[in-house]
Copies of this chain bind each other. A is one copy, B any other.
Amino acid sequence: MKAKEVDRARAAAVALLRKARVPVTRSEIETMEIADMGLGDIRRLGLELIVYENNDRYCAKELVLLPRQICPEHRHPRINGRNLGKKETFRCRYGEVYLYVAGERTPGPKARIPPKYKPFFKVWHEIVLRPGDQYTLPPNSLHWFQAGDRGAVVSEFSSTSIDGCDVFTDPRIRRVGS
């Protein structure tokens, strides 16, 4: 990703955090992860995130999605006999989020996926999250989400995050990070 694109995504994410009145420190802004998942199309596919805490027991992050930005379909697999995969709760703080999980396909979904990415989105049961709404995903379950037209800020509460273990439906995706 070009430095200019990273800077642009960061500035847009900071503007959304300000709109959401989520206080973050200067150092958190500087170290904010701008994740394009290796696809080089950050404005449409990826997300911006601040990891508040990630330890051996729990994790908390603030996720920012630019208008219509998509976090692509993935799951958090079983790590070992004790850790059956990351369990996570999404709580919408600002904007609107369209979250998709396994289940009956929702007719006329609110999400819009560019045709070239469509083959990599398999689950289409829609959950709409508005400020104050939340949803908890079981471990190892496929999911993806897209922000509405104004973008979104989403708090994520979870068990320990090991992003490098995530399994994406699109085999081209490379996820690095915590």
Residues of A within 8 A of B (CB): 20-25, 28, 52-53, 55, 57-60, 87, 89, 91-94, 131-134, 136, 155, 157-159
Contact = CB atoms under 8 A, between A and B. Distances in A.
B58 A157 contact: yes
A23 B131 contact: yes
17 contacts: A21-B21, A22-B93, A23-B131, A23-B132, A25-B133, A52-B89, A52-B134, A53-B89, A55-B87, A55-B136, A57-B57, A57-B158, A58-B158, A58-B159, A60-B89, A155-B155, A157-B157
Q: Report how many copies the assembly holds.
A: 2
A29 to B, nearest CB: 10
A22 to B, nearest CB: 8
Contacts of A60: 60, 89, 91, 155, 157
A28 B132 contact: yes
Nearest to A61: B157
Contacts of A94: 23
